[in-house]
Structure 1
């Protein structure tokens, strides 16, 4: 099976990442520190790509390892962390076997993300931690023109929930591999339906947020919540 990122893996590692603005303009590093917090334990990065976040996760006291569908991306991990090629909707780990899991700016690359969350709830030990850090569903997507960061334009399409390659820039990733979109309520309900319990939230990027972070834990008993169908 070929993954979308196989086609751009070399560009991503050698051109896209090195030209990323230095520092932490989107608050991703801050979100990892605040939401994941200190270890110890084994922390699985789902959609780890080239493993660029492994050093920070290791510095927090965790033992990082990763899974990704793209063999091309995994070729660039360079020993940053142990990796396995796998579909995130069928993670190759036993029930209740891991201490923590995290996904960083990758959930829009996973069309079956609700199924990924169910897998997360399955593999985490009771009380295990899961951190989601992703593009902000209310302000980023094919419906959002971020050409002027001080005046983001939100067009029709936010409520649709769809996959698209539409992007405000030709210098990023989404116009090349596409992205899946979930409106905010649909995204948050997917956590609840997987049986994950909310522990905290954060936003990053300014003046209009680019990143939404969510900290959850697996329930003490793996009993998925009933689907949320509408107002009570």
Structure 2
């Protein structure tokens, strides 16, 4: 997979430079985690699929869960190991027993996973009945190769939103898409993928200003 090799190559840049600009949570990622995972009365293992360098583990732990992560990139996991227990694994074939974890999160990874609907089905497989999944990802309506965000006060939406495609085209060379590419899914397709996995949607959140950059959803496995 192109994205896997690319993340191995940029793991140090991601950890040491890219994340530095995210420390104050400008996109509302940590806020969405707290709002959607934090309102779930539960404890135990929270599996992060595509954990990257493990930067979300502290918030997950703060909310009373025990974080554990999987990722396909050995370069990213090299940084994650000091933050949470991890395993190198394919998100489409999780090395986890059926119905064994109470919570799963996917944070800013669905555009890295061309087979994200299959990943959601795997997440539903390993969740206990009644277990919670929190999806946090770039906003399908305002982010993608069709969106020019060079003027943060006036995002320009060009043709392409409905196409659904993988691209490295980006309005900036300071982000990830120009380095690893991204798969775009229109909003209905993303929501249907959650429903088709056997999950019931419960709550939503957006983050980033003045136009949302992040869309988050909380869903629960039907009992």
Q: Cα deviation per residue 1:114-170 (whole Å; 9 max; x = unaligned)?
A: 000000110000000000000000000000000011100000110000110011100
CA distance in 2, matches of 1:90, 1:166: 29
Structure 2 gap ranges (5+): none
Greater displacement, 3-12 / 152-161:
3-12
Q: Distance in 1 between matches of 2:82 and 2:205?
A: 30
Q: Against the structure 1 CA distance between its residues 78 and 32, is the aligned structure 2 distance closer, same or farther, given a 3 Å change threshold? A: same
Are the aligned partners of 1:163 and 1:179 in contact in 2 as well (CA < 8 Å)?
yes
| TM-score between both structures, scaled by the size of structure 2 | 0.95
TM-score (norm 1): 0.92
1:201–1:214 Cα contact (<8 Å) kept: yes
Which residues of structure 1 form unaligned runs of 5+?
221-232
Following superposition, the deviation at residue 78 of structure 1 comes to 4.3
Q: Is residue 203 of structure 2 the alignment partner of residue 200 of structure 1?
A: yes
**CA offset at residue 21 of structure 1?**
4.5
Which residue of 11, 14, 17 maps to 1:12? 14
2:158 pairs with 1:172: no
Measure the CA separation in 1 of the matches of 2:74 and 2:24. 28
**Higher percent of residues as helix:** 2
Q: What residue in structure 1 maps to residue 32 of structure 2? A: 31
Q: Which runs of 4+ in 1 moved over 4 A?
A: none
Number of equivalences: 219
> Which of 115, 119, 130 is residue 118 of structure 2 equivalent to?
115
